[in-house]
Each structure stands twice: as C-alpha cells, then as structure tokens.
Amino acid sequence: MLAHGSAAAASRLSVCIDTASVTASRDQALAEQVAAKEGVALDVAHFDSSDDDDGVTLKEFKKLLATRCDLVLGYPVDVSAGFAMPDIMQTKAYDQTGFVLVVPAGSPAKNLADLPKGTKVAVTFETAPNLYFLSHPSLTPDVHTTDGDTLKAVADGSVAAAMVWQPTVRSYMAAAPAAKLSVYPLQEPHARYDVVALYTARGADEAKRFNDVLESLSPAGFDHAAVHKQSSSGFDRGMIRRENSGGFDPAMVYRTAVTAGSDALPALYTDSQAAAGAAKFAANCQVCHGAQLQGLVGPALKGPNFASVKSAFAVSDIFMIVSQNMPASNPGSLAKDDYVQIMAFLLQQNGYPAGGIALTYDGATNSNVPLVYHGQ
C-alpha cells in the first residue's frame, strides 16, 4: 500500500468490494466513476463474505482497511439504529436499500396493514421481518430457509405476500422475468438502510475526496437505485454481526430500559424448565449454535454481543425468532412447551435467575423484559 497523506497515495483510489454481494458489479461501477472523477487510478481488492456464515466481523473489517484498501464499499447502515462501529467511520450515503413487501402484480396491498387477517406472509429464516409479526399479530408467518424459497412462495401463489431484502428481490426478478411481482418499501422499524463506504483514520483523506465526488455526481450520472448490498441475511448474518448489532428498535415493542449489571433481574422461569430446556437445546439447537451457545453455523445465543444493551431486544423478540424460526431444518415444528423450555435455558445462560413461577408460551410471546447479558 502507498503511504497515506503522500502525493502518491492521492493518485489512486483504493477500494474493497465484496464478491458475494448481488451488486458487486454496481459497486465496481461506482468505484470506476469516482476514480474517473478524481482523475486517479483505481485499485480494487476483492473479498468474499460468504466464506463465513457470520459474514465479515469488525476485526476483519479493520484488517481489510489496514492492509488492503482505504474504503470498503456497499455497507448497509440501519437508518433507525444509526452507526456505531469502534474506530471505523462511514462516508456519506450514496444509496438507500432495505426490506420490502413483495406481492403478486395486481394485488391492492402496498403495506402490511393492507393484508387481511390470517394472511400468510413468507419470510426468510433469521431476518428482521420475522419480528414485524409482533406488530401485526393478525398475519401468519411462513418461514423459509433461503430468500429464493421465500420469493418463490409468493411468485407461485403459495402465499399472498413476502418480506425480503430489496437487492435480493432485484436479483431474483432479473433472473426470473416471468415472475409478475410488485415491490413496496416496508413501513416498519429497521426496514430502511443507507448504503455507505467504510473507512478508518488511515483513509480519511480518500474518504473526503470520495464524499466530494459523490456530491458532484448528478442523479443522471449514476444509477443509485441499482447500488445495493448483501443478501437478506445481511440483517442477521451480514457483514457485521454481533460485534456491532444495531439491534431492534425499542419503539417497536415498548419496554423499560434496563442496563447491564442491574441487581434486580426478574425471575421468569423455573429451574426445572431450564434443565429441560438444556436437553431440548442439545437435541434440536446445539448442532447449529454450539454446545456452549457460542455459535457455529448459527449465531451465538449467549454473551454481551448476543444480548447487549444497545441491541434493545426484549424476551418476546428473541422468543419470536426461537419459536417461529427454529430449528432451521423444520421451523416451528417443536411443541410449544419445548420452545418455552429452550427459552428458559437461554435466559439462564444469559444470567437471569430462576424463580418459583413457570414461564408460559403466552408470557414469553408478550414479555417486554429486556434481554441483556448478565454473565461474566
């Protein structure tokens, strides 16, 4: 790499692009246009976020920006949650993307509130729209393991609607032009994202030049609407996971703020429920999430990165994912008591005390108690 701050460094635009992104070619096009506007050569370093189920971690981002490039293009920032990645900064947004409602062409529905009671809505396993059913309890989730299956369900008429990450919808419709679908932005918390480039202090000069060029580009000069990032797994399995989870908006499900270290934790379950839940977890969840809940194919389910104050998850948020999305091989297939016991085990493992009153399915579904890690 050229020394930063030197005339030589200023003569090149150095960027990293994720080859696993469905819009890697558009990130490339933007980089080429910015370099041409700057009048400099372009260096592109490619990386593949699909090499790891957890995507690119904060540590890996820092390594990319320290050794391979000045800017990482195409990073989605949750507009509701904001941006807070230690030692990493963001450029100005050069596009917006997010989760969208997909319905058959001709459907009168343009948002979730337009769908009749009992409507089945397809969603992808472990993505943010699973939590939107909390605000729309009259709708029925139809959970799929891939975005392709989610979109196929609405395209072939198995369901009346789907909620999917916009870039994936664009890619799907380009590959299947016969699919007659209409797409509308979801009017829900954490459905809208800004697309930015990431940088560190090392690349601050280039970031400033990049921002200056973005301001000079006319809408006709670059197809901003075509620049998007990641598959729909980007919310949960995306480029930055538990190290910097923006979490879910507390405004969606109101709860009282609780900070880590509180000595007044509620007792939501019994010892016997947690013991039973440990066995059910080992039988149904351990293969993906690890014997110590450390995360394997699936994410970690224990610790300060899983249950952080910033994430602002309630027990009901996590229980919705557990009961509707798990196990991955057959979502929602366990008995209600099994899911309750597994939730009791998760609470125990994240530092919540047992008590004399058993957790119930309805209680877990409606609990506004914040889930914040209280272990060591």
- Give the model's pLDDT for residue 338: 96
In degrees and rounded to multiples of 5, residue 320 shows phi and psi of -60, -45
Higher pLDDT, 262 or 297: 297
Please provide the average confidence, as pLDDT, over all residues in the chain.
81
Per-residue pLDDT tens over the stretch 97-118: 899 999 999 999 999 999 999 9
Residue intervals of the chain classified under CATH 3.40.190.10 are 7-95+193-237, 97-185
Instruction: Kindly state the percentage of the chain with pLDDT values over 70.
Output: 82
- Give the model's pLDDT for residue 241: 27
Decide the pairing of beta strands 120-124 and 161-165. Answer: parallel
- Give the model's pLDDT for residue 4: 43
- Give the model's pLDDT for residue 9: 55
Query: 97-185 has which fold?
Result: D-Maltodextrin-Binding Protein; domain 2 (3.40.190)
* Rg (alpha carbons) of the chain, rounded to whole number: 22
CATH number belonging to the domain at 253-366, selected among 3.50.50.60, 1.10.760.10, 3.40.50.620, 3.30.930.10: 1.10.760.10
Average pLDDT over residues 31-54: 86
Per-residue pLDDT tens over the stretch 44-92: 999 988 765 445 777 889 999 999 999 999 988 888 766 767 889 999 9
**pLDDT category of residue 268 using cuts at 50, 70 and 90:** very high
Integer Cα distance of 325 and 311 in angstroms:
19
Q: Which residues, 6+ apart, have CB-to-CB distance to 225 below 8 Å?
A: 95
User: What CA dihedral angle connects 46, 53, 229 and 127, to 10 degrees?
Assistant: 180
- Give the model's pLDDT for residue 351: 94
Per-residue pLDDT tens over the stretch 115-171: 999 999 999 877 878 878 877 889 998 888 888 999 999 999 999 999 999 988 988
Average pLDDT over residues 340-344: 96
Query: Is the separation of the CB atoms in 192 and 185 below 8 Å?
Result: yes
Residue intervals of the chain classified under CATH 1.10.760.10 are 253-366
The CATH architecture annotation of domain 7-95+193-237 reads: 3-Layer(aba) Sandwich (3.40)
- Give the model's pLDDT for residue 239: 26
- Give the model's pLDDT for residue 139: 92
Task: Classify each residue of 302-313 as buried b or exposed e, where b means 16 or more C-beta atoms within 10 Å of its C-beta.
Answer: bbbbbbbbebbb
Per-residue pLDDT tens over the stretch 219-236: 434 444 333 333 332 222
